[in-house]
Amino acid sequence: MKELQIEVTLSSTRKQKPDFDNLVFGTVFTDHMFVWDYTEGTGWHDPQIIPYQPITLDPAAMVFHYGQTVFEGLKAYLTKDEQVLLFRPDENMKRLNRSNDRLCMPSIDEELALSALKQLISIDREWIPGVEGTSLYVRPFMIAIEPHLGVSPSKNYRFMIILSPVGAYYKEGINPVKIAVESEYVRAVKGGTGNAKTAGNYASSLKAGEIAYQNGYSQVLWLDGKEQRYIEEVGSMNIFFKINGEVVTPELNGSILEGITRKSIIELLKYWNVPVVERKISIEEIQQACHEGTLEEAFGTGTAAVISPIGELLWKNEKMIVNNGEIGTLSQKLYDSLTGIQNGTEPDPFGWTVRV
């Protein structure tokens, strides 16, 4: 494993840690951050760990105007024996580079970026909450910083990693959520940026999310952009259904994010010999399964919430109730197994976790 040589400047003061029992997702940041600049001609240079602080950019920096950004999200867990575990961080780095490619941004050495991530976490290790269900959320991201008003790829970029101790993503906990199927707005379409983790996808998703929220739904389920018929994904989660004993999830089609939790769930189900299929799923198929009583479970998957059972799907005024609005047996088992592997309380037969 390659090591990145980083210039480290430690903070002279330490911030007060928040109450680890009452963390609000993504609002508190640790004492340090990692910064690495890219300059056309020179490449990546001067990796640094410095005190967490504001960044200074020209108002014409291209990120503000033309949105060249990519990001990742993963978590570090503190095990009972005080080890720090990351969950498949190499997958995040690979996806970061796939996103970079789509956004015409420079690729980054995945091993070196991972080495930076580990060094930063080691320095701020006291910020990893040990409380059950909590973790340290890790946010690597890259932005275009050249000051230039003209639509073309930026010449210069900044890659950063920031850390935030987090509690459960949904304040309601692992309770089933209510999701509204979106039939007006579209998140992404084939040929667009749906499978890249870039800011614009999230900006465009806000409006539908707000409307759903006002109507009492926690997120929206996106349908495809061409026919508005095939199921894509939920807010920041991929989606799975259990229909008549078989688990199905939308296939990777270029417009949904290739979730690492999704991939792990599929591998876990195969390991358990539970039938699982990646394919096109129309919303009518789900409606029919619901009517016939074969829609057994539905759940979202993502780093933030891991497994988020779905208790209700609203589609064109029809409320489809899943499993009486209760968490399903398989959803619970997947949640327990995956979080168990992640926080080191369960064995890790796949070698998914990486020690910091």
Ligand X SMILES: Cc1ncc(COP(=O)(O)O)c(C=O)c1O
Residues in contact with ligand X by the rule CB under 6 A: 73, 233, 236-238, 257, 259-262, 301-304
Our measurement of the distance from residue 170's CA atom to the centroid of its chain's CA atoms, rounded to an integer in Å, reads: 14
Given ligand X, its own copies, none, residue 331, with its beta carbon under 5 to 8 Å by kind, binds: none
Given its own copies, ligand X, none, residue 84, with its beta carbon under 5 to 8 Å by kind, binds: none
Write b or e for each residue in 24-61: b if 16 or more Cβ atoms lie within 10 A of its Cβ, otherwise e.
ebeebbbbbbbbbbbeeeeebeebebeeeeeeeeeeeb
Given ligand X, its own copies, none, residue 176, with its beta carbon under 5 to 8 Å by kind, binds: none
Query: Least CB distance from residue 130 to ligand X, whole Å?
Result: 22
What 3-state DSSP class applies to 24?
A: coil
Closest to ligand X by CB, 145 or 304? 304
What DSSP state is assigned to residue 147?
Answer: B
Q: Is 38 in the site for its own copies (CB under 8 A)?
A: no
Closest to ligand X by CB, 138 or 237? 237
Nearest-10 Cα torsion for 263, 268, 274, 275: 20
Q: Is 207 in the site for its own copies (CB under 8 A)?
A: yes
What 3-state DSSP class applies to 23?
A: coil
Query: Least CB distance from residue 304 to ligand X, whole Å?
Result: 6
Cβ–Cβ under 8 Å, residues 89 and 354? yes
What DSSP state is assigned to residue 265?
Answer: H
Question: From CA 348, how far away is CA 329, in angstroms rounded?
Answer: 21
Binding segment for its own copies (CB under 8 A), chosen from 6-14, 150-158, 243-251, 293-301, is 150-158
Contact positions vs its own copies (CB under 8 A): 25-27, 29, 33, 52, 54-60, 63-69, 71, 73, 102-104, 137, 139, 141, 143, 147-153, 160, 162, 164, 184-193, 198-207, 209-210, 225-226, 228, 235-236
